[in-house]
Amino acid sequence: MTINHMNFFKPKHQKNRNISLIMGVLFFSIGIIDFYLNNYFNTNITSFLPRIINFFTPLIFGVIGLHLIRIEFSGIKILDSLNKNINTTNFNAALSVSIILLIIFGLPPLLNWLILDANFAGDTKEACTGGGACWVYIKVWFNRFMYGMYPNAEQWRVNVTFIGVLVFMAAGFFVPTKLKNYLSLYYVLILPLISFFLIFYLISGGDTEISFAFIASIIYFFLCFFIPSKKAKLYFFSFVPLLYIFLSLRLGESAYLAIPGLLWVETGAWGGLSLTFMVSFFSLIFCFPLGMMLALGRRSNLPIVKYSSLSFIEFWRGVPLITVLFMSAVMFPMFLPDGTYVDKLIRVVVAITLFEAAYTAEVIRGGLQALPRGQYDAAKSLGMGYWRMHVFVILPQALKLVIPGIANTFLALIKDTPLIFVVGLLELVGMLNLAKTNPKWLGFSMEGYVFAGIIFWIICYSMSKYSQKLELKYKTDR
């Protein structure tokens, strides 16, 4: 407020106003041109001034120019909106000019490097002649960045799997209303199973065998569904594991049904962006039900359940993800019987799932807390038990509230996946690091990081925008 006392140029009449306007634009343009010339043509039109002032001339001219065009109620619409937005006080004017100068300083070299001087065509390092980015490097390594070390000839399998999973996910939106009740069952149970099998058979491949004992147990399991009486159903269910053990012991080791499969690709070869998606997808699918259980346990009245859930959640929230991954890579094998070997990818997914489940549990707990007590009381007054109340009344409402929180968790999950390099799995950032040390392509680390940054940015930004949209949509429901 005090700087405005220097308004000795404030015009009072129409004629003065026009002069003031023209002078203001002139000063402003001189400032911009001076800066532009300084930086890009190495000429200095104000070199007759002492050095300190010379450095600041663009800024000074710009501010004077903006000051001159700060006319209240000028009647020119553009000028008014300009003044209101960037020119309210001298301080604001100075900031605005600085930002404009910064853009002029930074944008052209950036564009030069990114697009104008960059090389797009070619196949070898020699094609990168310009001073700009060498996008040839990205082009040559593109398959590796997307699919890791997966053999080139088999990459169609990864594509088919991803399309298949997307189709199954979208199928949930097209079911007839009669089956809508089973939608949550579908998403929580059936979809993970389907995706797991798709990945197991298509991406991993390899011949597998299923023991006859296992097949018999599964058939028995499904048969049990048809028993009408609920008590008897539970009774017969409990014999499934016993049947399995009995049959496997009796039939011996050789009673297997061999299933031929595609070429086997070990999980160590999976990598790139496809691995990022796979790890995030499976971690999210599994951490969601686990988080729900933990949130319910945290809020229960039974002391043992409550405190064990609490300590579980606080433990996983208090340690960094990198130590969790270290633990899964180095410590976890010690906890398994000698000789059992759990695949690295499974260990990683389990570790990330447990880690994110704790955060998801907190998010869901927030949703559960936000529901008014009236809902609980009304459900109880209808005679609903604990589980009925939660499944039919509480959880549907609470989950709607926490969808943005879940989306945030998913975002954090995607941003955390680069850490799996500590166990030796190479997703996108890991592949980048590998590629940049290849002797034929040294010195292109910048292009690699920019490329990965762009990809992650697009994914995360679109997801955050989508979650904001979801938040708005579900807010109006209540």
Partner 1 sequence: MKLKKILPQLLTLLFIVLVFGFFTMNAQENMGARGLEFGFGFLKTQASFDIQFSLIDYDGSHTYARAYLVGLLNTLLVAFIGIILATLLGAIVGVARLSPNYLIRKTASFYIEFFRNIPLLLQIFFWYFAALRALPMLEDAPMLLNSSFMTIKGLYTPAPIWTNFDVFFTTIIIAMIVIFFFAKYAKKKQEQEGKRLPVLIISLSIFIGLPLLTFLIGGVDLSWSFPVIRQMSASSYTFDGGLKIPPELIALTLALTLYTTTFIAENVRAGIQGIGKGQKEAAASIGLTQSQVLKLVIMPQALRIIIPPTTNQYLNLTKNSSLAAAIAYPDLVLVFAGTAMMQTGRAIEIVGITMATYLTISLGISLLMNWYNKRIAIQEK
Partner 2 sequence: MFKYLKQLTSLVAVVAVLFAFTTESMAAKKSKTLKNTQKKGFVRCGVSQGLPGFSNADAAGNWTGLDVDVCRAVAAAVLGDANKVKFTPLSAKERFTALTSGEIDILSRNTTWTLSRDADLGVTFVGVNFYDGQGFMVRKDSGITSTSQFKNGISACTNIGTTTELNMRDFFNSKGISYEPVAFEKADEVVAAYDSGRCDTYTTDKSGLAAQRTKMTNPDDHMVLPETISKEPLGPVVRQGDAVWEDIVRWSLNVMIEAEEYGISSGNADMMKTSENPAIKRLVGTEGELGSYLGLDQDWSLRIIKQVGNYGESYKRNIADTGILPDRGPNNIWTKGGLLYTPPAR
* Contacting residues toward partner 2, per CB under 8 A: 149, 151, 231, 234-235, 237-239, 241-242, 245, 266, 268, 329-330, 333-334, 336-341, 344, 423-424, 433-434, 436-437, 439, 442-443
457, interface contact from partner 1, partner 2, none, CB < 5-8 Å by kind:
partner 1
Q: How far apart are CA 11 and CA 353, in angstroms?
A: 67
Residues in the chain: 478
Q: Report the sign of the C-alpha dihedral through residues 330, 331, 337, 341, in that order.
A: negative
Q: How far apart are CA 135 and CA 408, in angstroms?
A: 32
Binding to partner 1 in span 51-110, by CB under 8 A? 84-86, 88, 92, 95-96, 99-100
Is the CB of 86 or the CB of 149 nearer to partner 2? 149
Is the CB of 68 or the CB of 265 nearer to partner 2? 265
Q: How far apart are CA 27 and CA 306, in angstroms?
A: 70
Is the CB of 27 or the CB of 316 nearer to partner 1? 316
Residue 352: CB minimum distance to partner 1, A:
14
Helix boundaries (H) for 87-126 = 90-111
Is the CB of 351 or the CB of 413 nearer to partner 2? 351
Residue 225: CB minimum distance to partner 1, A:
24
182, interface contact from partner 2, partner 1, none, CB < 5-8 Å by kind:
none
Residue 459: CB minimum distance to partner 1, A:
8
Is the CB of 111 or the CB of 446 nearer to partner 2? 446
DSSP three-state, residue 314: helix
Residue 340 makes CB contacts below 8 A (sequence gap 6+) with none
How far is CA 299 from each of CA 198, 294, 306, 346, 390, rounded to the nearest angstrom?
37, 9, 7, 30, 12
Concatenating the DSSP letter of every residue in 390-456 gives IIIIIHHHHHHHHHHHHHHHHHHHHHHGGGGGGGT-EEHHHHHHHHHT-GGGTT-HHHHHHHHHHHH
Binding to partner 1 in span 264-283, by CB under 8 A? none
Q: How far apart are CA 429 and CA 448, in angstroms?
A: 9
231, interface contact from partner 1, partner 2, none, CB < 5-8 Å by kind:
partner 2
Is the CB of 68 or the CB of 429 nearer to partner 2? 429
Helix boundaries (H) for 252-394 = 272-299, 303-318, 321-326, 344-370, 373-381, 386-389
Binding to partner 1 in span 308-337, by CB under 8 A? 308, 314-315, 317-323, 326-327, 330-331, 334-337
Contacts to partner 1 by CB under 8 A: 84-86, 88, 92, 95-96, 99-100, 302-305, 308, 314-315, 317-323, 326-327, 330-331, 334-338, 414-419, 421-422, 429, 432-433, 436, 445-446, 449, 452-453, 456-457, 460-461, 464
